[in-house]
Structures are given as C-alpha cells and as structure tokens.
Structure 1
Amino acid sequence: MSTENKPSSGSKSGTIGVFTLAMMNVAAIVSLRGLPAEAEYGLSSVFYYIFAAVFFLIPVALAAAEMATAWPQKGGVFRWVGEAFGGRFGFVAIFLQWMQNTIWFPTVLTFAAVSVAYIGMDPSSDSALAANKMYTLAIVLVFYWGSTLMNFRGMSLSGAISKWGTLIGTVIPAAILIILGILYYVTGHTIYMPLHASDLIPDLGNFSNLSLAVSIFLFYAGMEVSAVHVNEVDNPEKNYPLAILISAGITVAIFVFGTLAIGFVIPQKDINLTQSLLVAYRNLFQAFGLEWLSPVVSICLALGVFAGVNTWIAGPSKGILAVGKAGYLPPILQRTNKHGVQVNILYFQSAIVTILSVIFVLLPSVQAAYQILSALTVTMYLIMYMLMFAAFIKLRIKEPNTPRPFKVPGGELGMWLVGGVGLISAFAAFLVGFIPPGQIPVGSPTEWVGLLVIGNLLAVGVPLLIYHSRKESWKTAEGSDSFEPFSWQKETYAPAETSKK
C-alpha cells in the first residue's frame, strides 16, 4: 500500500514479465489474518470473495493502471485525485491512505499477539492468554515500537526483514494451510462446514451479516500499488490486464481455500476472529500427527506480521513525507534523521497507534476492538477509493487527450463500466461498514456507529484543516524540485514559469 508512485525513469519497457507482475500483486495483497472473519459465512464466503474481486479488485487495478501511465509523476493517488479535483482533495486522499494504514497496525498486531500466545503446547492456556486484553496490549506496543525504532536506522535491515519475513511468515504458512485443508477433506475427516450448493449464495437480506463481509474489500486493497510498474511491462495494453487476471485468480484461490480449510476444522459457532487461524493449524496438525509443527507455524506467522508491519511503517509515511515537502505538511513533520528517515512522522504515527491500542482495554473484548478498528480502517480506505474512482472518470472526461500507454479497454463504455462499478461498489461497502456485526458483541449499535462516524469525520477533517492552514514556508526546495506541478497548474502558470527561465 505504498503511497509513493514514483516513475521508473530510464527503465526499459518489458523488464517485468506478466507472471512476475502477477506475483508482485499477490505479495502486496495476500494476508492470512482475516480468513476467520470470512469463515463465519461458511460456503457463502466463496461468493463474497468472487463478488469483491469482480466488482472491486479488478476495477481498482485497471483504473489505477490507466492513471499511473498517464500521470507517472510522484504522488500516486495524491497526483491522480489532485489532477481531477485539486490539491485539497488530493491531500485528503493520500492522508486517508496513510491514516488507514496507521489504524491497521493495532488490528494486525493483535494477530501477532495471538500467534505468540499459541507458541505453547497447552491449548486451553494458550487460548486464555490470547484473549487477555492486557497481554494483547503489551505485545502490540512492544512489536510496534520495536519495529519503529528499527526503521529509524534506514531501509537496509528493514528490507531484509520484510523480504524473508514475508516468505517465511505468509507464503509458506498459506501453502501449508491450503494443502492440509485439501488433504483433510479428501481423506474423509469430519467436515464442520456445510457444503450444500444452496449454501453458496448468501442471504443478502440479512444486513447484520454484511458488516463482516465488507471486510473482504480491504482484503483486496493495495492492488493500485502495482500500477506504478505498468510502464515496465511489455505490451501493457494486453499484458497488464492479463497479469491482473492471473493475480486476481491466485489471490481469490488462496483466500477461498484458506477460508474453507478453517471452516472444515472449526464449527461456525466456535470461530474466533483473532484466534481461529491458529486453532485451525493446530487441529489440522493433530489430524495428521504433526502437532510439533503448531508452535513452529505460530512463530512463522508472528514473524510474518512483524515483517509486514516493518514494511508498512516506513512506506506510506515516506509517501506522505514527499507530499508534505511540496508544501502540504508543517516543517515539524518534515524532519528526517541522518538516514533520511521521517522520524517525526513516525513518532506521530506511533502516538496514534498507542492511543488506539488502548481501545483493546476499553471495549468488551479483544474481538470487539479488533472488529471496530478493522471497520474504521475499511471505511476510511473506501473514502480514498471513492475519490480515486471519481478521479478516473473525471480525468477521462476532462483530459481525454492526455497520452495513456495503458487505457482501460472498451472506450467510453469501458470507462463508465470500470469507474462506475468501482465507485458504486466502494460507496455501498462504505455504507454497509456502519452496520454492527450480528456475530460479535461490540457494545451498543449506537456506540459502534458513533465511533465510526467520529473516526471518519476526523480522518477527513484533519487533512482539510491542514490544507487550509498551509503556508508558503512549508514548501522545501527539495519538494518543489521533485514534485511536478499539476497539469492545471502548468496551464495557469505557464507564462510565469517561462519568464523565470
């Protein structure tokens, strides 16, 4: 979910193959921690995964690819939304992209805490520890602050941790889960998930169920990141959509079979959003006499979370730093250390994470805190996606002659289909996100909706306030040099720029 869409100047066309790009997409998107939430829906989870892929994942990737090739300058979603609606809303978009990532940290680190708790070999004591709110809070803060301090030293160490941690903590555990789940099914073990054809289509009239289902949209968030590489793909008009379809297929397959594996071994009534992935591994290992692997996988999953957090602590904050130096953040938030790391932004980010983590103590359960922070993350990110899709549509209308090395096929109809479907889907998912889940105790519905409304208003209001308060002195020479003006700025200020030359 990197926010810095830096053009690959000087790179030769065709340096990235179709399969390589597809794997980059899969690596950016796939995470196992959210699978138990969808296992709540049994076989109907397959419907939700495919629905979200068709109506959200693919439109995001195609729209972002077109805008990235037309406007490959720094800024990513800031550049695209800013070109369409001005710097104010461009800044709101990138702020939301950074802020939702910040709120995401406590939820993903909750999963790390559960993984650490399950390193032991006593299921009852492991489960009790994982459900302990003070334990969860302590692990979240230790993991997060430790990773933040590590990032202060630059990207060399952090990059190595991210690379190997992703392989060991995500790719290998995903393969183990899916392979054992398939073996569990074909070898005739007891299957707890009903597998009737009628269970495939969910009851879409039950709105209380949709709150958890909407989290699938966040599962697929981040596909826009790969759009920065579209200029490096040979014959992008043909090969980029092909890479999208391949990566979408692989991603859906991992999510579907991983979710089914959990449902096979855990009854629906016993599914726990924060613990069931580890319980599923333990049950599968017991079924095949591999109990000794349970703590090993727990360690691997914790390492995977640490690697992911380590990666995303620096990435999006570095993107908003680059935008900030162009005059959108006060000087105090632009400060970097000798390694070029945005230390004050990271301190500010860490303060937010610390405050949010305390919610784990205030809400009725760890599950409740996990779910409400997840819902806030989803709704904030969907606001950004609504701005992105609206920008895609407007730029096609406003700047039809801007060269687009990759263009969504189908002409005007293709534009409306991709942009319209994406925009409507994001808006519908945003509204559904405010419905309290029926399966999890999260306090009163009024408190649930109130917290989400306040959180989203703050997330949009803060960047608008910062933008309104910006001063010319905030702009640095480095920021001015590295950030090209928007197209509409070039048209407005072309005479002045020419005279200065």
Structure 2
Amino acid sequence: MSKASSPAATGGGGMVKSLSLWNYFTMGFGAIIGTGWVLLVGDWMILGGGPVEAMIAFILGAVFLLPIGAVFGELTCAIPISGGIVEYVDRTFGPTAAHITGWFLSLGNGILCPWEAIAISSLLTTMWSRLNGFGWLTSVKLYDIAGSGVYLWPLVISEAVCVLVITLNFRGASAAAKLSSFLSKALLAGMVLAMVISLFRGGPGNLLPLFDQVPAGESGSASGAATTAGSFPQGVLAVLVMTPFFYTGFDTIPQSAEEASEGLDWKRFGRVISASLLASGLFYVFCIYAFGTIMPWRQAVAMPVPALASIERISMWLYLPMLVIGTLGPLGPMNSFYGATARIMLAMGRKGYLPRSFASIDERTGTPRTANIVLAVATVIGPFLGGNLLIPLTEVSSLAFVFACTMAAAACMRMRRTDPDLPRPYTVPGGRFGIGLAIAAGAVIIGLQVLPFSPAALKPVSWAIVAVWVALGLMLRLAVRRR
C-alpha cells in the first residue's frame, strides 16, 4: 500500500493527501474547457460577427481573470484547506458573508454536474443518432419538458456516466484526478486533430470577412443565435461578456487543497491556477481558429454544431474520433465540479452553516460522505429535467461563480492588513495593486450581469432562482443555529 493511499496519509480519518501539481493542473484545465468548444464554437463566431472577434475576446477574458486566479493562489497557499473560500471570507467579513459566499459557490459549481450530463445526452440525440446503426438512440421518446425532448437511451447512457463520476468521487480524489488527467489528454488530442485538419484543408483566408452580421435565418445555432453587434469592437465585447462562464472551473483547484501530497511545492502551486487559465485560453483560441479556417466561417456557422459538422464533411474517419472526444469531454468538468462542490459543503459543515453531518469524512476513502450523497442525488436527477430548463441555471452559475471570486479577492485584500504575518509561499504579483485589479475585474463582470442594459443581464427567471436559493440558504442556517 502506497503512502498516499494508506490510512496514515489521511491524517487519522482526514482527507487523503495524494494530489500532485500535475493533478491540480489537469483538474482545473479539464473543468474549464469541458465540452463547450465542441457545442458552442459556432455560437461564439456568430455572436462576435466572426472568428477573429471570438479569439480576441477569449484572450482578453483569460487576461481579465488572471488577477482573480492569482488571488486564489495566494489564499490557498496560505490556508490550504478544502473549501477554503468559506474560511477566507469568514476570517475577514464574518459568518453571514461566508455562508452566502459558500452557498452561492455551491450553486454555481453544483449546477454544472447535471448540465454536463445533459450535454452528453444532447450529443447522443443530435449527432450520434444520425449515424448508420445508431438510430435506436432516439427510437423511444419518453416525454417533452419545456420544449425539450427526453429520450430513453441517451438518458440511460447519461445516467451511466453520472454513476461513473459519482463512484470515482466516493473512492477518493486520487481516482477522480486520474479521470481528469486522461480526459485532458483526450481533449488536447481533439484540438490537435482539428488544427491538423485546418492546416491541410483550410487556410487563414477562411477567416474573412473579419466582421459580418449573421441573421437568425442563416444561423445553424440550436439556440437561434444571431449577430446583434454592429461593428468589430462591439463583436469582441459581445463575446467577452460571456467568457467568464467558459472559464469557470479554475476554482476547483483550491477547493481540493487539503488533499495535496506531502512535500508539495506551494510556491509552484500558486502558479498552477494562472497556468490553467492561460492554457485554457490558448486552447479556446486554437479551437476557434481551427474551426474558423477548415472552411469559410460563414458557411460553417450555417451548420448545426459546426465543430463536428465541418469535419464530418471532410472524412468520417476523422469525424468519428472527434465525436467520441466531444462526447467524453463533459466527464472532465463534471468530475471536477462534483469534487469541488462537495468540499465547499464540507467546509460549510465544519463552520456550522450546514448540518454537522456535512463535516463528516469517510475514514476509508477520506471523502466528504454527506456532501457526496447530496450531489449524487442532484446529479442523477438532472438529465430527467431536459436541457431547456437548465439554461437559466447556467446564467445563475456564472453570476454565483464571479460573486464568490470577488468576495475571495476582497478577503485577500483585507487579510493583508489583518493577518500580515500569515505565511504566504505565493503572493499576488503587484501586491495590493494586483489584488485591487482582481476586485475591479469581478465588479465589472458582476455589473455586466446585473445591469438591465447589459447584453449579459440575467433574465427574470434567473433572478427568481437567485432569490429562492438565497432564501433557502438563510433558512437552513437559521434552522442549524436553533438546533
């Protein structure tokens, strides 16, 4: 039995200390990129009015979030505990603010577990069922919900994926990290495949025109996306305001800090979060370039799921492995967000914001038992709800994530004053100025999401979900305190 998996390595019933720097990098990278680049690269080009605008927006989005990533690096190295964001905010702004922050982050991360399962179901329904011999996938329709059809066999396969992820997370962080590592390599292979195809079958000339409006009637987007921007700069902004959602996931790294292997270099750990952001940004840019140059981009965006449809037109031998990679892609973020959300709930249980059972850790595997059970139930229910009902939850997830990040940045700034002697193996570049940039970045993104005139403003349904979630969290805390 290795040291990492021995009972001694759990600290006497604590978290198993088995994660390496590479595990953390692949965990964050896999959580960020997921399968959005397969399903939505066409929407990005449509919203921006061209692939060049989308590439610039994703570069700016990564740079915009770098200060927030550095803040998480400093805080995690100083206080390496699971769900540390709850501890950071509790130390600086008190229990109420910490409870709200942790509760929002649980919502933001937890939503993505069933969302990714639905992404798999959607690919099975829309792309796999078109292949010869796979028509049986849509042979049995169970029901319609909010305009979205739910089919038996895609549902069964999605549930099997959910069971796999749940099982790995019950076994421990090491097993889950191995899955993330494998899927990160598979996603990189998919990007390399697309790049090779674009080099031999396409060219930079397919990026022209640099800006062109795509009306809804000429869009192959399943959501009916159309270009509303009137110029090149407006196109960049239209994509930029939604990039934070597609960078959600780097916060999964600090949530598992308590499971770091013995002797981990914490100074290098602080750089892992920024590295995962930059690597994800480059990945997105390369993918947009590849799928924007395989054929003229205006022709590509007229097809459903252009990332797959464009390759299908070239060769089925290339299309099939790409489809497999795209279908497996959601496993990475689902796995990462499942583990991260469980550890946020663990931290809230330790603080008394949730029932004490959430603070319990399985003595054999070192995993949060009650939190894993709650997330397992939520994850397996998700695919039954249909894709359309989760669209408002996606908007809420983005707001909740950015709110929690901004609170972490504010806590980091205040701890520089209240805890000046706290050991900090890694510090934010630029000191207080760098932390201030993180707070400003979060405030700007929140403003774009809540101001009514913003193109990324939340819809009434999303606001209703936020209100219900906040009320439920406060009621739960009051019930726990009365006990």
User: Structure 1 residue 255: deviation in Å?
Assistant: 0.2
Q: 134-143 or 419-428, which moves further after superposition?
A: 134-143
Q: What is the match of residue 84 of structure 2?
A: 76
- SS of 1:223's equivalent in the other structure is coil
Other structure's SS at 2:80 match: coil
Report the equivalent of 2:465: 455
CA gap 1:144/1:242 in 2 versus in 1, 3 angstroms: closer
Check if 1:218 corresponds to 2:224.
Answer: no
Distance 1:132 1:85, change over 3 A: closer
Counterparts of 1:359-370 in structure 2, within 5 Å, are 360=386, 366=387, 368-369=388-389
Q: Contact 1:116/1:298 (CA < 8 Å) preserved in 2?
A: no
Equivalent-residue separation in structure 2 for 1:415 and 1:337 (angstroms): 37
Following the alignment from structure 2 to structure 1, what is the Cα–Cα distance between the partners of residues 395 and 202? 33
Query: Which 10-residue stretch deviates more, 370-379 or 77-86?
Result: 370-379
Give the Å deviation of 1:179.
2.9
Q: Is the 8 A contact 1:109 1:140 kept in 2?
A: no
Superposed CA offset, 1:263-303 (max 9, x none):
34475587499x51xx423422533xx31232333233323
Counterpart pick for 1:38 among 33, 44, 47: 44
Which residue of 441, 464, 471 maps to 1:422? 441
Which letter does structure 1 place at the counterpart of 2:449? F
Q: Shift of residue 331 of structure 1?
A: 4.8
Q: Could you say which residue in structure 1 is the equivalent of 2:151?
A: 135
Query: What does the per-residue CA deviation read over 1:411-458, in whole Å, with 9 as the maximum and x for residues that have no partner?
Result: 443332x33333323323432699677xxxxxxx9xx72211011123
Cα offset, 1:27, TM superposition: 4.0
1:383 and 2:391 equivalent? no
Equivalent residue letter for 2:33: V
Report the Cα distance in structure 2 between the residues aligned to 1:91 and 1:73, rounded to whole angstroms: 16
Q: Answer yes or no: is the 8 Å Cα contact 2:53–2:232 preserved in 1.
A: no
**CA deviation digits over 1:439-484, x for unaligned, max 9?**
xxxxxx9xx72211011123333222222222486xxxxxxxxxxx
CA contact (8 A) 2:114 2:381 kept: no
Between the aligned partners of 2:442 and 2:177, the Cα distance in structure 1 is 37
Written as runs of structure 1 = structure 2, the 5 A alignment for 1:14-33 is 25-33=28-36
Structure-2 change in CA distance of 1:208 and 1:331 (3 Å)? farther
Cα distance in 1 for partners of 2:279, 2:59 equals 12
Match in the other structure for 1:119? 128
| Contact 1:230 1:240 (8 Å CA) reproduced | no
Q: 1:406 to 1:113 in 2, by over 3 A?
A: same
Please list, as runs of the form range in 1=range in 2, the aligned pairs for 1:157-236 lying within 5 A after superposition: 159=176, 162-163=179-180, 165-167=182-184, 169-186=186-203, 191=206, 193-196=207-210, 213-226=240-253, 228=257, 236=267
Decide whether the 8 Å contact of 2:32 with 2:249 is kept in 1: yes
Match of 1:259 among 275, 288, 307: 288
Contact 1:318 1:342 in 2 (8 A): yes
CA distance in 2, matches of 1:399, 1:308: 34
Q: 1:303 aligns with which of 312, 315, 328?
A: 328
Contact in 2 for aligned 1:382/1:430 (Cα 8 Å)? no
Q: Say yes or no: does 1:50 pair with 2:59.
A: yes
Q: Report what 1:486 is aligned to.
A: none
User: Take 1:398 and 1:415, find their aligned partners in 2: how far apart are those partners?
Assistant: 15
Pairs aligned (count): 430
Matched residues in 2 for 1:146 and 1:399: separation? 43
Q: Distance in 1 between matches of 2:363 and 2:430?
A: 50
Amino acid at match of 1:251: S
CA distance in 2 between partners of 1:383 and 1:333 (Å): 23
Q: Equivalents in 1 of 2:338, 2:85: separation in Å?
A: 18
Change (3 A) 1:68 1:204: farther
| Structure 1 alignment gaps of length 5 or more | 1-6, 10-14, 361-365, 438-444, 474-501
**TM-score relative to the length of structure 2:** 0.72
Q: Shift of residue 217 of structure 1?
A: 0.5
2:476 maps to 1:470: no
Q: Which amino acid aligns with 2:208?
A: P
RMSD between superposed Cα atoms in Å: 4.5
AA paired with 1:29?
Answer: I
Output the amino acid matched with 1:39.
M
Residues 110/234 of structure 1: CA separation in 2 closer, same or farther (3 Å cut)? closer
Does the Cα contact within 8 Å between 1:165 and 1:304 map onto a contact in 2? no
Residues 1:109 and 2:109 are matched in the alignment? no
Distance 1:48 1:471 in 2: 45
Unaligned runs of 5+ in 2: 1-8, 12-18, 142-146, 214-228
How much has 1:103 moved relative to structure 2? 1.4
1:389 CA drift (Å): 1.9
Q: Is the 8 A contact 1:53 1:248 kept in 2?
A: yes
Deviation at 1:45, TM superposition (A): 0.9
Q: Report Cα offsets for 1:236-256 as digits up to 9, x if no partner.
A: 3xx677666654443222101
* TM-score, normalised by the number of residues in structure 1: 0.70
Deviation at 1:170, TM superposition (A): 2.1
AA matched with 2:324? I
- C-alpha deviations, 1:379-438, integer Å up to 9, x for none? 12122122112212222233334332322233443332x33333323323432699677x
Contact 2:100/2:473 (CA < 8 Å) preserved in 1?
Answer: yes
- Maintained 8 Å contact 2:71/2:438: yes
CA distance in 2 between partners of 1:379 and 1:233 (Å):
33
How much does 1:30 deviate?
A: 2.6
> Helix, strand or coil: the match of 1:134?
strand
Counterparts of 1:88-99 in structure 2 under 5 Å? 88-99=96-107
State how far apart, in whole Å, the 1-side matches of 2:195 and 2:391 are: 25
Moved more, 31-40 or 340-349: 340-349
Match of 1:494 in 2: none
Q: Secondary structure at the match of 1:328?
A: coil
- Answer with 313-322 or 383-392: which moved more: 313-322
Distance 1:160 1:345, change over 3 A: closer
1:461 maps to amino acid = A
179 and 462 in structure 1: CA distance in 2 versus 1, 3 angstrom threshold: farther
